[in-house]
Amino acid sequence: MTDDQAQTGRSGLSRRSLLFGGAAAGAGAAIALAADRTGALPQSRQAELDAVGLNGERTVPFHGVHQAGIDTPIAAQASFVALDLLPSTNADALGRMMRLLTDDAARLTTGEGALADTEPELASVPAALTVTFGFGPELVRRAGGATAVPSWLAPLPAFGIDALEDAWNGGDLLMVVSADDAVTVAHAVRMLLKDSRAFATVRWRQDGFRRAYGSEASGTTMRNLFGQIDGTTNPEPGTPEFDRVVWSSDRWLTGGTSMVIRRTRLDLDTWDEVDPVARGFSVGRRLHDGAPLTGSRESDEPDFEAVNAAGLTVISPVSHIARARPVEDHEVIFRRSYNYDLAPSGESVSESGLIFASYQADVARQFTPIQARLAEVDLLNTWTTPIGSAVFAIPPGCSPGGFIGDTLLA
Ligand code: HEM
């Protein structure tokens, strides 16, 4: 699926008009300041905004070679939901479950209610909804036997920085439900869970967010709750590099990938004690514009050899980017993370973090060496603590009439 197709909604808007729509929305905000206190826009301005369509009407095609929600534009809201299979859910039941959930997802992503939808009105605003399914090792074993389980589909090795809480670990079935509207996500999650309840129970749910659609120009790299620009050095969807990094060619998983989810607490209280220079030093990039400490723009290539007057490298060898850089060519991942922010407890004013999520064809070859290096030394570890960890195989997409997981279950 091309980026353009992914961006083209039910209303038939092109990527270009959506981009223009974003700009128009920004301009609209400025005009609204001048509007009367009811917030009403001048009629001509309202007509202009109506012409570019509503955010809520946008759809992302569900069917395709790859599942949507990986190389398609990232949405503002996401719920990551992991389920545990009931003991009675055997291979036949798994086939029934995935047919049902695929049908729900295919309908909901077009703005139709799921079959027997109890609140179809809530489904009518798809807002670029995507549903991405993932399989844990136990599901793959029940479906296809031990030989079907890729060698990397297992809990990650234990790392010294981890303080994992079982409440956020593992899972047999993953559903990542994302959209540019929180009500859409809530409704889709509820429909999918209603239809999965004969087969599985909820193990954990992690809700994440980024900036709202239209708040920033499309393509702006996200900021995490440390204020860092996070996601600069990432393969670009639609490029040969992306295809090589992300898509698997391993048997039933061909056209699929893997996903690592690391729930990571960000200690904002102690981060508050650090000045902007030290904050930039810990990552190797400036906070305000994301440029490497040796450059002036976010897109500049970091120079890890450059030294300062004292003869020390400008980018510390123990900064996050120096440690996360690939040592071997194949150590590249595609990051697609979300922020979380919950009620604090005790003296703290925040309980915040990152739902770190990455896609790669092979976890052991691509992800684990990076994580092992970061666990060994990384200045950023001073303020970050992984509290949850899970690995899933993400099956390929399916065609209309097929279902997600059919290459394993059919
Ligand atoms: C949850 C805590 C983390 C935070 C706050 C964080 C933040 C950042 C920031 C601000 C950058 C620089 C901008 C960019 O290129 O995106 C970065 C780069 C990167 N991070 Fe992280 N990161 C975290 C965890 C991780 C983990 C767990 C991994 C993988 C194991 C990882 C892998 C990378 C990679 C590969 C880069 C690009 C390095 C390069 O320049 O080549 N990060 N991260």
Q: What's the CA-to-centroid distance between 404 and ligand 1, angstroms?
A: 30
CB-CB contact of 200 with 83 (8 Å)? yes
pLDDT at 43: 73
Per DSSP bridges, beta strands 334-335 and 130-135 are unpaired
CB-CB contact of 55 with 214 (8 Å)? yes
CB-CB contact of 389 with 158 (8 Å)? no
Is 80 exceeded by the pLDDT of residue 375?
yes
Distance CA 166, CA 84 (A): 13
Choice between 370 and 35, residue whose per-residue pLDDT is larger: 370
Cβ of 334 below 6 Å from ligand 1: no
pLDDT at 40: 63
Q: Please state the rounded mean pLDDT for residues 366-393.
A: 98
Quick one: how far is CA 393 from the chain centroid?
Answer: 15
What is the 8-class DSSP label of residue 82?
E
Report the candidate in 150, 324, 340 with the shortest Cα–Cα distance to residue 261.
340
Point out the ligand 1 atom lying closest to the alpha carbon of residue 358.
Answer: 29
Q: What is the pLDDT of residues 310-321, one digit of tens each?
A: 999 999 999 999
pLDDT at 1: 38
Taken as a whole, the chain contains a residue count of 410
Choice between 46 and 144, residue whose per-residue pLDDT is larger: 144
What H or E segment, with its residue span, contains residue 265?
A: strand 257-266
Q: What's the CA-to-centroid distance between 320 and ligand 1, angstroms?
A: 7
Q: What is the pLDDT of residues 99-111, one digit of tens each?
A: 999 999 999 999 9
Q: What is the pLDDT of residues 236-274, one digit of tens each?
A: 999 999 999 999 999 999 999 999 999 999 999 999 999
For residue 62, count CB atoms less than 10 angstroms from its CB and return exposed for 0-12, middle for 13-18, buried for 19 or more: buried
CB-CB contact of 129 with 177 (8 Å)? yes
Q: What is the pLDDT of residues 20-63, one digit of tens each?
A: 333 334 434 433 344 455 556 677 766 766 666 799 999 999 99
Q: Please state the rounded mean pLDDT for residues 88-102.
A: 98
Q: What's the CA-to-centroid distance between 256 and ligand 1, angstroms?
A: 23
Output the average pLDDT for the chain: 91
Choice from 221, 223, 233 to test ligand 1 binding pocket (greatest atom count within 8 A of CB)? 233
Please tell me the pTM assigned to this model.
0.90
pLDDT at 74: 97
Is 70 exceeded by the pLDDT of residue 373?
yes
Q: What is the pLDDT of residues 172-185, one digit of tens each?
A: 999 999 999 999 99
pLDDT at 194: 98
């389980």: which residue's tokens?
Answer: 149
pLDDT at 36: 53
- Give me the percent of the chain exceeding a pLDDT of 90: 86
Distances in Å between the Cα of 44 and the Cα atoms of 19, 40, 117, 158, 295 are 20, 11, 38, 60, 44
Cβ of 247 below 6 Å from ligand 1: no
Is 70 exceeded by the pLDDT of residue 69?
yes
Per DSSP bridges, beta strands 130-135 and 257-266 are unpaired
Q: What is the pLDDT of residues 311-350, one digit of tens each?
A: 999 999 999 999 999 999 999 999 999 999 999 999 999 9
CB-CB contact of 205 with 80 (8 Å)? yes
Is 50 exceeded by the pLDDT of residue 291?
yes
For residue 235, count CB atoms less than 10 angstroms from its CB and return exposed for 0-12, middle for 13-18, buried for 19 or more: buried
Cβ of 82 below 6 Å from ligand 1: no
What H or E segment, with its residue span, contains residue 21?
A: helix 15-34
Distance CA 395, CA 175 (A): 12
Is 60 exceeded by the pLDDT of residue 92?
yes
Quick one: how far is CA 322 from the chain centroid?
Answer: 23
pLDDT at 16: 32
Cβ of 224 below 6 Å from ligand 1: yes
Quick one: how far is CA 222 from the chain centroid?
Answer: 11
CB-CB contact of 283 with 319 (8 Å)? yes
Point out the ligand 1 atom lying closest to the alpha carbon of residue 374.
Answer: 30
Is 70 exceeded by the pLDDT of residue 88?
yes
Distance CA 276, CA 274 (A): 7
Per-residue pLDDT band for 90 (boundaries 50, 70, 90) equals very high
pLDDT at 41: 64
Give residues with Cβ within 8 angstroms of 395, minimum separation 6.
67, 133, 134, 135, 252, 253, 256, 404, 405, 407, 408
Q: Please state the rounded mean pLDDT for residues 196-222.
A: 96
pLDDT at 4: 39
Beta strands (DSSP E) in 168-232 are 173-179, 200-209
Quick one: how far is CA 404 from the chain centroid?
Answer: 19
